[in-house]
C-alpha cells in the first residue's frame, strides 16, 4: 500500500496549521495587507473552477499530450452547477450529474473518456 502522499499531507499541514494557529497563539501577529485578503478571497472560486474546467475539457493521451475534449461530462457539470446554484444543495447536484453520465454511457449515448 502506497504511503508516499503522507509526506505531501505533512507538507500541506505545514502551510495550513500556521494560518489556523497564528491568531490563537500569537494575537496581533495576524495582520496582512487588506489587498492580500481581497486576493485570498478570490483564490477558492478560481482554483476550484479551474480544476473542474480542466478536468472535463482537457484530456491527455498516453504520451501526455493534452487535447480539447467535448462530451457528456460538460453537460453533467453544468447540471450540477445549475442545481447547486438553484437549490443550494451540492449533494443533489452530484446525484443528478452522476445519474446523467451513468445513463448516457449505459445507453450508448456517450463514451467513457480514454
Site for another protein in 29-58 (CB under 8 A): 30-35, 37-58
Q: Which residues pair with 67 in a beta bridge?
A: 59
Residue 95's CB is within 10 A of a number of other CB atoms, namely: 13
Q: Which is nearer to another protein, 3 or 62 (CB)?
A: 3
Among 62, 63, 70, 85, binds another protein (CB under 8 A): 85
Q: What is the DSSP letter of 53?
A: H
- CA count, 13 A, side-chain hemisphere, 73: 16
- Does 9 bind another protein (CB under 8 A)? Our answer is yes
Cell numbers at 62, concatenated: 498516453
- Does 63 bind another protein (CB under 8 A)? Our answer is no
- Does 107 bind another protein (CB under 8 A)? Our answer is no
Amino acid at each position: 500500500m502506497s504511503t508516499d502522499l503522507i509526506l505531501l499531507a505533512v507538507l500541506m499541514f505545514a502551510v495550513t496549521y500556521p494560518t489556523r494557529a497564528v491568531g490563537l497563539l500569537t494575537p496581533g501577529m495576524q495582520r496582512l495587507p487588506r489587498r492580500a485578503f481581497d486576493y485570498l478571497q478570490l483564490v477558492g472560486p478560481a482554483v476550484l473552477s479551474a480544476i473542474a474546467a480542466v478536468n472535463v475539457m482537457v484530456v491527455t493521451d498516453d504520451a501526455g499530450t493534452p487535447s480539447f475534449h467535448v462530451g457528456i461530462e460538460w453537460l453533467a457539470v453544468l447540471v450540477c452547477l445549475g442545481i447547486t446554484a438553484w437549490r443550494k444543495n451540492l449533494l443533489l447536484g452530484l446525484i443528478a450529474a452522476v445519474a446523467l453520465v451513468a445513463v448516457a454511457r449505459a445507453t450508448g449515448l456517450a463514451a467513457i473518456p480514454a
